[in-house]
A and B are shown apart, each in its own frame.
Chain A
Amino acid sequence: MIISIASGKGGTGKTTIATNLAVSIDGPVQLLDCDVEEPNVHLFLKPEIEKTQIITTPVPEIDLEKCNQCKKCMEICRFKAIAVVGEMVLTFPELCHSCGGCMAICPEGAISETGRELGVLETGARKGVQFSHGRLRIGEAMAPPLIRRVRDCTLENGLTLIDAPPGTSCPVIAAMKNTDFVVLVTEPTPFGLHDLKLAVEAVKILQIPMGFVINRSDIGDDKVRAYAEAEGIPILMEIPFDRKIAESYSRGELFALAHPEWKARFIKLAEEIETLTQRGANKK
């Protein structure tokens, strides 16, 4: 089973839920940090990294000896990543989406592919928790291909948790799609609710069952709860604001490890998600 933990708004506590859930569950669990722009899971999980890989995406390389300036590559590229200027062929690797169109269309076989670095993929573990994350290279614009590489680390069996990036655009979709359940972490404020509604729409498009976790549940107002009820989306857990929790978070601590009562609540959360997922699967 794959559970993604997402949120429209950033900073609502996605990583807190993902990490505390991972360390609470007894038995094998995998945690994939797909927030490759700002991966934070490792700061809390503190895994031992066993493998580091540089991840690249293919971009064109031109053999000017073979090129006869037919400009077919320039015409096919929808991303303006290749331009034929006089005798020269200029490539703009940072604009390239790696579709391979130019290479396929070149009648002279003058185009091959080389790699543009997207970032790194690191894999490791901490106790029973298998861990992988991607870290987008600074200056690299495209997160989704790196996110897909992190997703490729998904183990066949057992439970996989995914920490998704914030928002509702392509990086989030790449992190959430084809998962079995989405936990949307929110806070009961106008910003929280506004962004939650957008996230719900995204999850609906992907047709994945979902539930809410309300963090800092005693600040703000009651509108998130009213919305959940109107939409028929279950509230799986509420975590009241506690300055102590906020401070221990600031130090990179996992509160489920220090407080057995929270550990028990996270185990219950995992069980509830499993029940809801099975119910969803039965309906299909």
Chain B
Amino acid sequence: MKEIVILSGKGGTGKTSLTASFAILAEKCLLCDADVDAADLHLLMQPHINKQTDFQGGGVAQIVTDKCTGCGTCIDMCRWSAIGPDFVVNEIDCEGCGVCVDFCPEQAIDFPTKICGQWFISDTRCGPMVHARLGIAEENSGKLVTLVRHEARRLAEERGLQLIITDGPPGVGCPVIASVGGATCVVIVAEPTVSGIHDMARAMELCRHFKVPVVICINKFDLNTDNTLKIEKMAHEEEIPVVGRIPFDSTFTLAMVEGKTLMEFDGSGSAAKQIENVWSAILNTPAMTTSN
């Protein structure tokens, strides 16, 4: 089974729009949305949710007022200053380390597990989809990404699907690290802006750090052709394949407003042609042809 993970480093480079278009081109695949913090793929795929499960995150401290003698031990020990002078835990600040729970001499602190979000198994016109919604202001995004990808694999095996296409989160932190491990190939969608290049370089470094094969796709390449050349040069120096250039095209937005992928909205347009080329280039990269 193969898994292609789409990343970008910087947000707003067109990662999700391209992921959805790839799913249309792949015909048979399993879709996985690992951008659990600001998931958007469902807006283009309109999944029909078949199963919804709570995501159990970590614990959160809760002081039982009746048992508390106000000794202050917990306040002294909490490194996040999450406990107020009134001995009430601020849930947003609580890191869930449980240290206060263990050190409270009165055993006055409960540590219930928090429900930090939901994850879903759905059907779409491209096949099954596994996605999730992390609760607002929650932690544990990496843990939820790991869970979603694990379930995606399990479901793909069950349904005999050979390909998983995963929409990854922006950045290089915890949820991204959880998204790249074990991927067959990471596609970085880069844009030719100073920030796009900067963030692409960091995403590339992350993939190198975790030894995951990576390819680059340049979106909105005509916004700045000098920068596009610069990206291609950087990729060349790092021996990273560039799988293609896609022009800046307002059709992406029009398709999004209709809740469609670009392939469905305007399958014969020039951007669509480029996406087709990019997709076949991805499938023909060494990472995709050699592994199994």
Q: Are A9 and B99 in contact (CB under 8 A)?
A: no
Q: Are B171 and A38 in contact (CB under 8 A)?
A: yes
Which bracket fits the contact residues of B? 35 or more
Q: Is B215 an interface residue (CB 8 A)?
A: no
Q: Is A272 an interface residue (CB 8 A)?
A: no
Main secondary structure of the interface of A (DSSP, over half): loop
Chain A neighbourhood of B137, CB < 8 A: 168-170, 172-173, 202, 205-206
Bound complex: CA A190 to CA B41 (Å)? 11
Residues on A close to B: CB < 8 A?
8-12, 15, 36-38, 40, 43-44, 76, 78-79, 97-101, 104-105, 136, 138-143, 165-173, 177, 189-191, 194-195, 198, 201-202, 205-206, 219-221, 243, 246-247, 249-252
Q: Are A177 and B92 in contact (CB under 8 A)?
A: yes
Residue of chain A at shortest CB distance from B42? A194
Q: Report the minimal beta-carbon distance from B128 to chain A, rounded to whole angstroms.
A: 22
The 9 closest A-B pairs by CB, nearest first: A10-B11, A11-B12, A99-B97, A37-B171, A252-B194, A250-B224, A167-B37, A141-B174, A250-B193
Q: Are A250 and B77 in contact (CB under 8 A)?
A: no
Residue of chain B at shortest CB distance from A7? B11
Residue of chain A at shortest CB distance from B178? A141
Residue of chain B at shortest CB distance from A201? B136
Q: B145-181 toward A: CB 8 Å interface, digit per residue (1/0)?
A: 0000000000000000000000001111110110000
Known: A79-B97, A198-B136. 5 other contacts (CB 8 A): A37-B202, A44-B195, A190-B256, A191-B43, A252-B194
Residue of chain B at shortest CB distance from A78? B98
Given A38-B199, A43-B198, A138-B209, does the pair A194, B173 have CB atoms closer than 8 Å?
A: no
A97 CB contact (under 8 Å) in B97, B193, B194, B223: B97
Residue of chain A at shortest CB distance from B41? A191
25 CB < 8 A contacts A-B? A9-B12, A12-B12, A37-B173, A37-B176, A38-B199, A79-B97, A99-B79, A100-B79, A136-B172, A139-B177, A139-B206, A142-B174, A165-B171, A167-B169, A168-B37, A168-B38, A168-B134, A173-B137, A189-B257, A190-B259, A194-B38, A206-B92, A220-B257, A243-B223, A251-B193
Q: Are A76 and B12 in contact (CB under 8 A)?
A: no
Q: Is B58 an interface residue (CB 8 A)?
A: yes
Chain B neighbourhood of A99, CB < 8 A: 79, 95, 97-99
Residue of chain A at shortest CB distance from B194? A252
Q: Are A104 and B10 in contact (CB under 8 A)?
A: no
Chain A neighbourhood of B139, CB < 8 A: 169-170
Q: Report the minimal beta-carbon distance from B260 to chain A, rounded to whole angstroms.
A: 11
